[in-house]
Structure 1
Amino acid sequence: MAACTMYRMFPALALLAAAPLAGCGAGKAEAPPLAGARIGGPFALVDQDGKAVRDSDFAGRYRIVYFGYTYCPDVCPTDMAKIGQAMKLLDEQAPRVAQKVVPIFITVDPERDTPAVVKQFVANFHPRIVGLTGSPQAIAAAAKSYAVYFKKQPAGPGGGYMVDHLAVAFLMGPNGEPIASLPIDKDGAAIAEQVQHWAR
């Protein structure tokens, strides 16, 4: 099966993602790598239980925000599994930090990803992952505010289709401010380390 085309991150974000690693031993005094970036913003979506959700509902908590889709054949489930693994590690090793963090999955395929479908998908990874969907317009607006590219590809003979999209996990702060892009190209331990580094 052909995989969907993924774009791990923009070149600028790739450079920024490496920045916190250089200062890990120096405490938390350094500025977040994405400080001041135009990433994030208000959204009005629907969660996996059909409840209306706004970005303001997560105020006061750190957020791991990942855009993907449930029919993705490989990358999205792998990335979400790493995020779930990171949350489990935080639950075990840094429960105080874990309670401050909410992982959020936002679909880029609202046509197929109904609340019920999203609920089944996110349940595979961690019980506290919030899955969000919404109208195509609402999803497009949310993706734009997070600088996430996505594009539905032409349907194949059986009617199925892929959605190309940027695969990146953003760590956002308690006020919705961008902090860092997390190392989803590595493993859950690396993600957990970075979350613990920045979450205070």
Structure 2
Amino acid sequence: MASRQFSTKDRILGAAEELFAQHGFGGTSLRQVTGRADVNIAAVNYHFGSKENLINEVFRRRMDEMSGQRLAMLEQARRDHPGDLEPVLSAFVEPALALARDRQGGVAFIRVIARAYAEKNDGLRKFLSEQYGHVPREFARAIAECVPHLDKEQLYWRLDFLSGALTYAMSDFGLIKRPAGVSEIAHRKRAAEELIRFTAAGIKS
């Protein structure tokens, strides 16, 4: 019974993620979600209780793992390379690019992130701040240790630019496409290397 419940919940989350990516949060109804997931509305109410909770859980499903990976890599970077900026940036960039290349819904989730930037959803922003706001703050502290000459305002401007550049890289919408004969892993590694090099230069200046 438990595995069946998990399967139903996962189908609902997958359907919601795809629809939010296509139509946005306001443009997607629970009826559309139930139709895509092939469940009834009672199943959505049972597992999530409301559309707002469903939206939050779409983010939690992806971001819990990514945030955990980021913080684990950051801890290792600070331990093994104290004062070195590039390993800190790598800890921030690489898990996000890995998520973007995940063929099990990763591409759709990147579009969902873009919707979160574009649409005004105070409830979602509050949820993301409460659940994941500690992650960028921890990176800000680590980066400040590497570039103590920056004041707090300069540091946060540059972190904002890093986040924007990373989101763009995750979308794979830029000029650089994966060349024929280059694996997805190799292409992602190159993208991470170039972004880290570019960001490190900007932060240090």
- Specify the TM-score bucket, using the shorter chain as the normaliser: under 0.3
- Greater gyration radius: 2
Q: Going by fraction, where is strand more abundant, 1 or 2?
A: 1
**Higher RCO (CA 8 Å, separation ≥ 6 residues):** 1
Q: Name the TM-score, length of structure 2 as normaliser.
A: 0.27
